[in-house]
Structure 1
Amino acid sequence: MPFARPVRAVRSAALLALAALVLSACGSGEAADPADTAAVSLTNCGHTVRVDAPPERAVSLNQGTTEIMLSLGLADRMVGTATWTDPVLEGLEDENRKVKRLADNAPSFERVLDEDPDFVAASFVSTLGKGGVATREQFEKLGVPTYVSPFDCSGKKNHGNGDGSREEPLTMDAVYGEVRDLAQVFGEEERGEELVASLEKRMSEATKGIDASGVTLMYWFANSGSPYVAGCCGSPGIMTRALGAKNSFDDSHEEWPQINWETVADRDPDVLVIGDLTRKSQTAETAEKKIEFLESNAATKNMTAVRNKRYVLLSGQALNPTIRTVEGVERIAAALREYGLAG
């Protein structure tokens, strides 16, 4: 569930700095040698992304893109990150400490420009859109290429104030495609293929021989008043299909529809997959608070999963389509086996 802040105007100082840079380049009298460049051009969510050389001052505006870039060894070429829901992915702590955090949530447009970025990436259309940090066009007018995770535009409609709906089920190919795109932009294709191969191997090992047919899962991201639960076709859909299980709300194509607790109780899932978030923008963000609510609320305390304490705790990033989706498959598979619900 992405964060958003109103767009602020570009500071005149940023524009003056850009103009000075352009004039300096024009007056140098030295033509660029095409052989010395590593230009990359790709189509991304209806935009052409072109970089004439691998970025050296990249900013990532969502944790998902940040963790991919850190996994590709790009910390030394990043000047800022933002919008965090969880601690950084285990194993990336040292790399993450090298990069300035511009904001825990969404930074202002001018705060990003302060870092003089030469590339800006985000996981969500809403982050680089109206009501977000800034639109892609605003960055591109300043000569800054932008990139949005393909999962948030391919086969998906982003509408209203919600998280959109999917016309077709998401697959891991969208995540692998993002890894390859970012690796190409930074000239690190080999590292990109190594990361994809590692994720594919983990998916294969996690699902080998598992059969969870007949098991129903419900994914609760946030909010105790009117919970956001997973619809059929986002990242939780990848996990559910990989394990042969059934999502209690697979009749909804909304990414994260809000459902009342009476309806949740009627569906009575066998297992509850619970988002364990560290942010503080909704009620019952942590898994501890969610479980406390489930076990005390009259509408939920007699549900099968609650009575049997069948919980699987996942980070917010694992519930979004990211490289952590694989972690979600691994943890749910292990829990289903522990609960005796899958072979």
Structure 2
Amino acid sequence: MKMTYSSTVFCALLALTSTSAFAQATVQSCNREVTFDEPPKAAISNDVNLTEMMLVLGLADRMVGYTGISGWKTLDASMTAGIEELPELSSKYPSKEVLIGAGADFFFAGWNYGMKVGGEVTPESLEPFGINVYELTESCIHIGEKAAASMDDMYDDLLNLGKIFDVKEKAVDLVEGYRAELESYTAGLSLLDEAPRVFVYDSGEDAPFTAGRYAMPNALIEAAGGTNIMNDLEKSWSTVGWEAVVERNPEIIVIVNYGEVTAEEKRNFMMSNPAFADLDAVKNDRFVSLEYVEATPGPRNVQAVKKLASAFRVE
């Protein structure tokens, strides 16, 4: 077929316009606006929950590996199947050399989720090596102000990843599905006379590590109809004194299950310690366990809200 000069130019301009629209995306990442001229081809995610966000968007084939899982947690069967072809490049936080050596062009991490303020791996330290960073929204509190944790933190991360990797429609469908699923579920729940007082027990015997207002469990508890007794703690995850827990007398204790100490061992510690004998949660043996991947921002937050809502309504 003979093509005229003008039609050739038109087709070239059309192709260029389509490519630009297809490739470029600008997203808000904590206090930065980050522009991607093309979707990443060699991504690395840190931690089990961030990795699962990549998987639900079908991005395993855009990844060269993951970090920060086996040093603390284990993968369940569904996640193992999703990343069986990918190497774990570092069992805990990766070094800058690990990321560069893997040929990464993208790192999905967060503050205290693979990066530390003042550490060697930051968006600024990776930029000269052509590695763009998208920061987990929940973690932004470590470098500036943000609102209390909400389900929107997780939804926004999925939507932003959808823009970055040019799978926007899939991300929108997922988020709309999650929202509808939760709305439908909570609409069918019985009303509570008042919000139960809830304490999140992550770890620690001398002093408990717990979730403040900026940690995802605060959002999960509220979405399920409860009140986090540490919702005035102006931090995400932090250590508090047992005295404050006793004084606030939780009716339900949410245990985060991961690491060497099992959820049952954490429960036994609280049930057998005389200092906690008068807590309503201990007297009535009202404990509920969340897996780490449920308690941190990710697709399983919807499942976690359902689990908590059900536990809050059992006397």
Band the TM-score falls in, shorter-chain normalisation: 0.7 to 0.9
Q: SS of 1:123's equivalent?
A: strand
Task: Quote the Cα distance in structure 2 between the aligned partners of 1:145 and 1:228.
Answer: 32
Which AA in structure 1 matches 2:186? Answer: T
Q: Which residue is 2:126 aligned to?
A: 139
The alignment partner of 1:257 has SS state of strand
Say if 1:276 and 1:122 are closer, same or farther in 2 by CA, change over 3 A: same
Q: Distance in 2 between matches of 1:248 and 1:46?
A: 29
Q: Percent identity?
A: 28
- Does residue 1:223 correspond to 2:204, yes or no? yes
Q: Deviations over 1:252-301 (max 9, x none)?
A: 222223222233122221110001013x5xxxx42122112112222124
Larger displacement relative to structure 2 (137-146 or 321-330): 321-330
| Separation of aligned partners in 1, 2:92 and 2:118 | 14
Contact persistence 1:45–1:148 (CA under 8 A): yes
- 1:319 and 1:97 mapped to 2: Cα distance? 24
Asked if 1:325 is matched to 2:305, the reply is no
Deviations 1:93-128 (A, max 9, x none): 311212211122112211121110111110336633
Of 101-110 and 208-217, more deviation after overlay is shown by 208-217
SS state of the match for residue 97, structure 1?
coil
2 CA distance for matches of 1:254 and 1:191? 33
2-side partners of 1:289 and 1:55: how far apart? 42
Contact 2:68 2:114 in 1 (8 A): no
**Does 2:54 correspond to 1:69?**
yes
1:222 Cα deviation (Å)? 1.6
Q: What whole-Å deviation, never above 9, does each CA across 1:5-61 have from its counterpart, x for those lacking one?
A: xxxxxxxxxxxxxxxxxxxxxxxxxxx967545122323223332322221110112
Instruction: Say which is worse superposed, 328-337 or 117-126, in terms of deviation.
Output: 117-126
- SS at 2:35 equivalent: strand
Structure having the higher helix fraction is 2
Aligned partner of 1:206 in structure 2 is 185
Question: What corresponds to 1:258 in structure 2?
Answer: 239
Q: How far apart in 1 are the matches of 2:146 and 2:124?
A: 26
1:224 and 1:131 map into 2 onto residues whose CA distance is 29
What is the 5 A alignment of 1:277-316?
Answer: 277-278=258-259, 280=260, 285-316=261-292
Structure 1 stretches of at least 4 aligned residues deviating more than 6 Å after TM superposition: none
Number of equivalences: 295
3-state SS in 2 of match to 1:249: coil
So what's the TM-score if we normalise by structure 2? 0.84
Taking structure 1 as the reference length, the TM-score comes to 0.78
Contact 1:206 1:333 in 2 (8 A): no
Which segments of 5 or more consecutive residues in structure 1 lack a partner in the other structure? Answer: 1-31, 160-165
Alignment of 1:1-343 (within 5 A): 36=19, 38-84=23-69, 85-88=72-75, 91-124=78-111, 127-132=114-119, 134-153=121-140, 156-158=141-143, 168-208=147-187, 209-212=189-192, 213-278=194-259, 280=260, 285-337=261-313, 339-340=314-315
Alignment CA distance shift 1:134-1:214 (3 Å) = closer
Instruction: Using the TM superposition, name which of 238-247 and 74-83 deviates more.
Output: 238-247
- Residue of structure 2 in register with 1:20 after alignment: none
Report the CA distance between 1:311 and its aligned residue.
0.8
- Are 2:48 and 2:68, in contact at CA under 8 Å, matched by a contact in 1? yes
Q: Aligned-pair distance for 1:228? A: 1.3
Deviation at 1:250, TM superposition (A): 2.4
Change over 3 Å in CA distance of 1:131–1:100 after alignment to 2: farther
Distance 2:112 2:127 in 1: 15
- Structure 2: unaligned runs, 5 residues or longer: 1-14
- 1 CA distance for matches of 2:165 and 2:281? 45
CA RMSD of aligned residues (A): 2.4
| Helix, strand or coil at the partner of 1:299 | helix
